[in-house]
């Protein structure tokens, strides 16, 4: 901010980078990201990543939030950009901490959604986009959180109920 030098200093119970001139403290916070679990009957929509990390692996459509965007809207936008599918959010599914993305740590907010329009076609970070049956998911799923979410999704599917979280934050 003032071009002063940052140095590690104990501040609010942990060491953080602090400016010796103006006192500015650099807090390292996780970014917010949103994912869509798009269900079509017994199938879920996935993309094959064309970029690192996990290039060539299958993931849920997802991405980082823009600063002026509530997370459910991020899920809708990213799904359209990566798959061409227009979705309607059904509800909040889970909130998870992501530690295996080398770009930055993130909070992943995952929504259940239904396809309501558009044309399935891979775009942006995706080299392929398609639906998988929940009993025939791909082996090479990227990100630990995607595997965790999809494991729970399959369990829910087998039990006959997709358990969602009540939330006020919807698009
Ligand atoms: Zn400063």
Integer Cα distance of 48 and 18 in angstroms = 41
Class of domain 31-159: alpha beta
- With vertex at residue 44, the alpha carbon angle to CA 140 and CA 74, rounded to the nearest 5 degrees, is 95
Using the mean position of ligand 1's atoms as its centre, give its distance from the Cα of residue 19 in Å. 5
**In whole numbers, what is the pLDDT of the chain averaged over residues?**
94
Band (pLDDT 50/70/90 cuts) for residue 171 is: low
b/e code 82-118 from CB counts within 10 Å (16+ = b): bbbbebebbebbbebebeebeeeebbbbbbbbebeee
For residue 23, the CA-to-ligand 1 centroid distance in Å is 6
Quote the ligand 1 centre to 33 CA distance (angstroms): 30
Q: Indicate the range of 31-35, 52-56, 81-85, 101-105 predicted with least confidence.
A: 101-105
Candidates 84, 89, 85; CA nearest to 110 is: 89
Q: How many Å lie between the centroid of ligand 1 and the Cα of residue 64? A: 29
What whole-number distance in Å separates Cα of residue 57 and Cα of residue 159?
A: 28
Give the phi and the psi of residue 55 in degrees, each rounded to 5. -60, 135
| Mean per-residue pLDDT, 110-131 | 94
CA of 6 to the centre of ligand 1 (A): 8
Q: Output the CA 15–ligand 1 centroid distance in Å.
A: 17
The pLDDT tens digits of the residues spanning 64-74 come to: 999 999 999 99
* Contact (Cβ atoms closer than 8 angstroms) between residue 109 and residue 69: no
State in Å: Cα 16 to ligand 1 middle: 14
pLDDT at 73: 97
SS3 state at 57 = coil
Ligand 1 centre from 31 Cα, in Å? 24
Average of per-residue pLDDT across 119-125: 90
Sorted by where each begins, the domain ranges of the chain are 31-159
């Amino acid at each position: 901010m003032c071009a002063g030098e940052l140095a590690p200093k104990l501040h609010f119970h942990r060491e953080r980078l602090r400016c010796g001139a103006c006192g500015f403290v650099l807090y390292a916070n996780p970014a917010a990201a949103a994912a869509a679990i798009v269900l079509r009957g017994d199938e879920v929509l996935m993309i094959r990543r064309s970029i690192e990390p996990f290039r060539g692996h299958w993931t849920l459509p997802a991405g980082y939030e823009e600063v002026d965007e509530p997370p459910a809207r991020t899920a809708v936008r990213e799904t359209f950009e990566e798959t061409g599918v227009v979705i309607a959010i059904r509800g909040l599914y889970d909130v998870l901490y992501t530690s295996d993305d080398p770009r930055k740590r993130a909070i992943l907010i995952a929504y259940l959604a239904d396809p309501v329009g558009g044309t399935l076609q891979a775009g942006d970070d995706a080299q392929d986009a398609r639906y998988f049956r929940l009993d025939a998911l791909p082996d090479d799923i990227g990100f630990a959180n995607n595997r965790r979410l999809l494991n729970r999704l399959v369990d829910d599917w087998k039990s006959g109920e997709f358990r969602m979280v009540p939330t006020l934050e919807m698009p």
